[in-house]
Amino acid sequence: MTKDINARHTEKMRKIKAARDKMMQTKTDEKGLIIVHTGAGKGKSSSGFGMIMRCIAHGMPCAVVQFIKGNWVTGERKFLTERFADECRFFVSGEGFTWETQDRERDIAAAQNGWKIAKEQILDPEIQFVLLDEINIALRYDYLDIDEVVDFLLHQKPAMTHVCLTGRNAKPELIEAADLVTEMNLVKHPFRDGIKAQNGVEM
Amino acid sequence: MTKDINARHTEKMRKIKAARDKMMQTKTDEKGLIIVHTGAGKGKSSSGFGMIMRCIAHGMPCAVVQFIKGNWVTGERKFLTERFADECRFFVSGEGFTWETQDRERDIAAAQNGWKIAKEQILDPEIQFVLLDEINIALRYDYLDIDEVVDFLLHQKPAMTHVCLTGRNAKPELIEAADLVTEMNLVKHPFRDGIKAQNGVEM
């Protein structure tokens, strides 16, 4: 039984790798990357946000789809929606999508809606960079199907479009499919000393 | 001999910890943090840049001191200097400070000049957040004295000012002194597949 699961897992990973290798054969010096920021440390979203700023600086139209609210509510969201609405599209997949609600049906609907928007943005030929912020949380809880997401990224994403997916506990299938994976690890955190989240640093 | 070195190291770390603990006793719910982004993965600078954007969004005056050129030359630097010169001060510690030059004297002078500017910005009561980008490289090669830097951060930094120090191979003394440390680890990188650095992602 476990052996079967392991064998299926190996075969699945082999297929993902083969699809990725096939795609890589067509590579030129530049290509649209599948980028993953994962790990329990800080910097997953803010580094993705930094990439969005680089895109704006280079005149590359871009989009953010935010899968859970919280992280982006204050600083970045305000910054992008108030100052860079023309350069960067900003979407939130359902205001109610938080872990406090414990309303699984609503959370699934919000995640699915976010993924629908994400696909539209990725397929839009005008858009060159799409940040799917905290999508790994939705994948982890199976609110989105990992196979569908990986299949779309490998087979339907336009060749030159970059997609960055953030959130802890990235699924192995996504890491296998990705071009660039960074794990942010927590070495030390001030919360343990009773310091609360602060503007500029966390928000 | 080795035992002596180890004993000195332990004693040094104990002193840094004691100084940090003493500082923490005065903490309120908010305090200026010493933040370190290290590790061989991506996101150290771009996450620092994301924090700068958060500061701008919140109306917190901030400054960047860039210790090596390269990382920030294109996207972020252009973005900040052209669009946010009023909100964020931007300094480069010597254009010639690169590893290609192999001009050690010039590199040391550039690093020392950068640290002088960094101290001025940190001490400036108007500035609430200072990003010392790639300073860990200068510290690693002893172009700056780690003891002096740590001592300044622990004893002279204004209580509410945040300082973020980036770069791989952060020194243990700095990690000991810091409040918030994140290690960015490389899991997978497209350069190994012959893909070059691209706008929006790396630049």
pLDDT digits (tens, 9 = 90+) for A36-80: 999 988 889 888 988 898 898 889 999 999 987 655 556 778 888
Nearest chain B Cα to A192, which residue?
A: B179
pLDDT digits (tens, 9 = 90+) for B42-65: 889 888 988 898 898 889 999 999
Query: H or E stretch including A83?
Result: helix A75-83
Q: How far apart are CA B34 and CA B98, in angstroms?
A: 26
Q: Do B75 and A53 touch (CB under 8 A)?
A: yes
Give A199's Cβ-side CA count (13 Å radius).
14
Q: Where residue B112 falls among pLDDT bands split at 50, 70, 90?
A: very high
Q: Do A75 and B53 touch (CB under 8 A)?
A: yes
The answer, for B76 touching chain A at a CB cutoff of 8 Å, is yes
Q: How far apart are CA B39 and CA B62, in angstroms?
A: 24
The answer, for B57 touching chain A at a CB cutoff of 8 Å, is yes
Q: Which residues of chain A does B195 touch, with a Cβ-Cβ cutoff of 8 Å?
A: 27, 29-31, 33, 179
Average pLDDT over all residues of chain B = 84
The count of other CB atoms within 10 Å of the CB of residue B97 is 26
The answer, for B8 touching chain A at a CB cutoff of 8 Å, is no
Structural domains of chain A, ranges and CATH numbers in brackets: 40-187 (3.40.50.300)
Nearest chain B Cα to A43, which residue?
A: B47
The answer, for A73 touching chain B at a CB cutoff of 8 Å, is no
Contacts of B108 (CB under 8 A, 6+ apart): B143
Q: How far apart are CA B83 and CA B79, in angstroms?
A: 6
The whole-angstrom distance between B127's CA and the closest CA on chain A is 12
